[in-house]
Amino acid sequence: MEFFLVQLLNGISYGLLLFMLSSGLTLVFSLMGVLNFAHASFYMLGGYFAYQVSVKIGFWPALVIAPLLVGVLGMAVERFGLRTVHRYGHVAELLFTFGLAYLIEEAVHLVWGRAAVDYRVPPELDGPLFAIYTSQYPAYRVFMMLMSVAMLVSIWLALTRTRVGLVIQAALSHPQTVEALGHNVPRVFMLVFGGGAALAGLAGVIGGNAFVTEPGMAAAVGPIIFVIVVVGGMGSLAGAFIASLLIGCLQTFSVGLDWKLAGLFERFGWSVSPDSAFASISQITLAQTAPVLPYLLMVLLLIFRPRGLMGTRDG
Amino acid sequence: MADATLRFAPLNLGRWMIWGATALALAIAPHVFTQSFALTLLTQMGTLIIFALSYNMLLGQCGMLSFGHAVYSGLGAYVTVHALNMIGKGALALPVSMLPLVGGVAGAFFGVLFGYVTTKRAGTTFALISLGIGELVFACVLMFPGFFGGEGGISSNRVAGAPVLGITFGPAIEVYYLVAFWCFVSMVAMFALTQTPLGRMANAVRDNPERAEFIGYDTQKVRFLQLVLSSFFAGVSGALSCINFEIVTAENVSAIRSGGVLLAAFIGGIPFFFGPIIGAAVFIFFVVALSGFTHAWLLYLGLFFLAMVLYAPGGIASLILMQIPVMRAGRLRELAAPYLLALAAFLVAFAGLIGLVEMVYRLSDANLDTNMSLAGIAFNAKAQAPWIVSGALLAAGLVALRYAARFVGERWAAIQQDFEAGRA
């Protein structure tokens, strides 16, 4: 029970972090039809900017400054890059963001080196907050959850209760009509792209010190958030939310378990001889398969429900 | 009338000449560039040409943007390395020169397996699924060290089995000719495929899948067949790289390889059959030649790629082909001045960029010496002056480049206008 609760909390906090990333990606995708390959790179930049700022003036200013910087960078990318390739079609846009992800990773290598940087949890939040049975639960994890939830609620309110939010929602489905009504739709695109980038940057700020800030962090998280977008159904925010929590929990739970197929067979009284071809598969623990599980989930879903969990169309 | 169909098939002399020249170039290349360094370069180019052309069967010809093409070449290479080891032990009687077929069949097998899932969807979703499959395979390779050899990979020895016609594949030149042979055969085969009904349907599915369905073709089946054929050639190139390097590691199936082939094909020019050939040569030049000079070569490659995506989506091939009508009209001379101006502006901007990039690199690690020299000029990266000079060079170069681009555009438009007037 103790193991279960701790892992559940970890899974939810990780899942919420993933949703901060995938929500921006989904919004940009449904608005502009662009799948931003560099989204995880903005997450990485958030972590690195926060490290740089926190070394100079501290963590709390970094929490505000780093996402803003990433957001401004995102807007510049949309204005001067994406808008230019837009006329060449979706493949060109995808290739542009792919090249950008490549470039950001190399720039990070060049500026901060290839090793991980020492980006730490602030001392105020470094330590346990409460205990679950015998294990202490770290305060920073709770802070992460609170930050994510607060951010997501405010975005939801902004999208549904403000004028700008309503224009964005309208531009999602009827961009031409919105333009005809006198709104500057390209500017809406730029704002949403920048907002998505800032959200990814914020995820980097609070995720970078909880996990590790290194040049490989974009490549590690990037494919996972794409899997979330596919599993949730392309362009569906609710689907992305469910898929984020599902994959967050799936990964944290499987890392903590060392179940093997061989163990399952023994329960039924079968044994696998060590020289059979099946032996190497039966000896793999569930923890070892953790990196594969999200992709397996995606493949299975595509075979049985190609539109994704909450998707509406078979694209 | 026994045969109602009219057939008009003149001898296509131009085509024969191009293929003949290609074969000749492949045959004499190692005798023109005689350094051993050049031989390594040429061998790797041959391997990548097959890989990039097979990639273009998906992206250029069928509109499928794949982020996981290295899966097929990598798994083909893994199967080949096991076959090679079996030949070495005497358990398999097959000449080493036929191993690319083994790799190709293995690649096609995995193409059937994964293609069934990936080709269910087209467009952006296909791109994402191919990425997911790539990650899946990469993680699995590290999970089963029995077959894949874990982090260290599987090494082998290409001098195996009885030599055929005295060819042992010990010397590098013999490996080059093996690669050149398979490269030529694959090029011809892939070009022939573009002329078949399947190749034409692939183009139709790329351009308008809805209409292709309306005239009765199953677009999913077309994508699937195209993917399987393409993974066959990817497997051939994987087998050749296995014979060349005598080692296969997890890197062979990694996202880095998949991204690399995408870059190579795109830089060369995906709308043209021969584009990826140019791209493969340029890419290998970046990888092998430039990586010896600077740590930031990947950054330059990325910038080059982005510039191509933004300003020349047809790749290098389109830039070359655009000049041909102008050259025929004998008006290339009018463009010489703007071209030279653009080149000069680019060189100034590039010099500034190199200065900035190299200084950033020197400052990134406290262990690196900040006293450095570029183009024979010695300076310290901590001083202010080199930063100001490099920044000024970059800014001035970019402004000049903008001006030069307008200059080129004006002259170009004038020539095109004359062409239009001549046609009317």
pLDDT tens for chain A, residues 1 to 315:
777 788 888 888 888 888 888 888 888 888 777 888 889 999 999 999 988 888 888 888 888 889 999 999 999 998 888 888 888 877 888 889 989 988 998 888 888 877 788 777 777 777 777 777 777 778 888 888 888 888 888 888 888 888 888 888 888 778 888 889 888 888 888 888 998 899 999 988 888 887 888 888 888 888 888 888 888 877 778 888 888 988 888 888 877 776 666 666 666 666 666 555 556 666 667 677 777 888 888 878 877 776 777 666 544
| A63's tokens | 């929490």
A103–chain B nearest CA distance, Å: 5
CA-nearest residue of chain A to B122?
A315
Cβ atoms B82, B146 nearer than 8 A: no
* Cβ <8 Å between B132 and A230: yes
- Burial environment of residue A83 by CB neighbours within 10 A (0 to 12, 13 to 18, 19 or more): middle
| A255's tokens | 């890392």
* Cβ <8 Å between B132 and A95: no
DSSP B199-211: HHHHHHHHH-HHH
A227–chain B nearest CA distance, Å: 7
The Cβ of residue A300 has, within 10 Å, a number of other Cβ atoms equal to: 12
Q: Return d(Cα B51, Cα B283) in angstroms, integer.
A: 12
Which positions ≥6 away from A25 have C-beta within 8 Å?
A35, A36, A39, A196, A200, A225, A226, A229, A240
Cβ atoms A222, A37 nearer than 8 A: yes
The Cβ of residue B261 has, within 10 Å, a number of other Cβ atoms equal to: 27
Q: What residues in A contact B143, CB-CB < 8 Å? A: 284, 288-289, 292
Chain A, residues 96-115, CB within 8 A of chain B, namely 96, 98-100, 102-103, 106-107, 109-113
Cβ atoms A110, B360 nearer than 8 A: yes
Q: Who among B122, B124, B133 is closest to A35 (CB)?
A: B124
- Best residue in B110, B128, B286, B295 to probe A by mutation, most A CBs within 10 Å? B128
Which positions ≥6 away from A158 have C-beta within 8 Å?
A164, A165
Could you give the C-alpha distances from A77 to A71, A96, B3, in angstroms and in order? 10, 10, 61
- Burial environment of residue A284 by CB neighbours within 10 A (0 to 12, 13 to 18, 19 or more): middle
| A33's tokens | 């039809």
Residue A298: per-residue pLDDT: 82
B367 has a chain A CB within 8 A of its CB: no
Could you give the C-alpha distances from B353 to B312, B365, B377, B382, B402, in angstroms and in order? 21, 19, 16, 17, 16
B148 has a chain A CB within 8 A of its CB: no
Residue B110 pLDDT > 80, yes or no? yes
A90 has a chain B CB within 8 A of its CB: yes
Residue B1 pLDDT > 50, yes or no? no
In this prediction, residues B176-198 reach a mean pLDDT of: 89
Three-state SS letters, A208-259: HCCCCECCCHHHHHHHHHHHHHHHHCCCCHHHHHHHHHHHHHHHHHHHHCCC
Residue A44: per-residue pLDDT: 92
The Cβ of residue A256 has, within 10 Å, a number of other Cβ atoms equal to: 15
What ipTM is given for this predicted complex? 0.82
Q: Which residue has the higher pLDDT, B193 or B381?
A: B193
The Cβ of residue B140 has, within 10 Å, a number of other Cβ atoms equal to: 18
- The tens digit of pLDDT for each residue in B139-161 reads 888 887 777 777 777 887 777 76
* Cβ <8 Å between A98 and B262: yes
- The tens digit of pLDDT for each residue in A113-141 reads 777 887 777 777 777 777 777 777 788 88
B90 has a chain A CB within 8 A of its CB: no
The Cβ of residue B328 has, within 10 Å, a number of other Cβ atoms equal to: 9
Q: Return d(Cα B190, Cα B265) in angstroms, integer.
A: 15
Q: Return d(Cα A271, Cα A255) in angstroms, integer.
A: 25
- Helix (H) or strand (E) holding A132, with range, is strand A128-132
Could you give the C-alpha distances from A283 to A224, B134, B144, B151, B290, in angstroms and in order? 26, 24, 10, 19, 45
A280 has a chain B CB within 8 A of its CB: yes
pLDDT band for B54, please (50, 70, 90 cuts).
Answer: very high
* Cβ <8 Å between B129 and A298: yes
Q: Which amino acid is at A311?
A: G
Q: Return d(Cα A311, Cα A271) in angstroms, integer.
A: 43
Cα(first)–Cα(last) distance of chain B, in Å? 42
Q: Provide the β-strand partners of residue B346.
A: none
Residue A314: per-residue pLDDT: 47
Q: What residues in A contact B123, CB-CB < 8 Å? A: 90, 315
Max Cα-Cα span within chain B: 88
Could you give the C-alpha distances from A217 to A40, A74, B336, in angstroms and in order? 8, 18, 47
The Cβ of residue A4 has, within 10 Å, a number of other Cβ atoms equal to: 11
Q: Who among A112, A289, A299 is closest to B117 (CB)?
A: A299
Residue B269: per-residue pLDDT: 85
Which positions ≥6 away from A11 have C-beta within 8 Å?
A245, A248, A249, A250, A251, A252, A253
| B204's tokens | 């139709």
Q: Provide the β-strand partners of residue B164.
A: B167
- The tens digit of pLDDT for each residue in B327-378 reads 877 777 777 888 888 888 888 888 888 888 888 877 777 677 767 767 777 7
Could you give the C-alpha distances from B253 to A89, A99, B236, in angstroms and in order? 29, 20, 14
Q: Who among B65, B132, B296 is closest to A223 (CB)?
A: B132
Residue B11: per-residue pLDDT: 66
In this prediction, residues B221-233 reach a mean pLDDT of: 92
A292 has a chain B CB within 8 A of its CB: yes
In this prediction, residues B186-210 reach a mean pLDDT of: 88
pLDDT band for B230, please (50, 70, 90 cuts).
Answer: very high
- Helix (H) or strand (E) holding A282, with range, is helix A279-282
Q: Return d(Cα B54, Cα A184) in angstroms, integer.
A: 43
Residue B47 pLDDT > 80, yes or no? yes
Cβ atoms B305, B267 nearer than 8 A: yes
B305 has a chain A CB within 8 A of its CB: yes
B131–chain A nearest CA distance, Å: 7
Residue B107: per-residue pLDDT: 92
| B53's tokens | 């052309």
The Cβ of residue B409 has, within 10 Å, a number of other Cβ atoms equal to: 11
- The tens digit of pLDDT for each residue in B310-324 reads 888 888 888 888 888
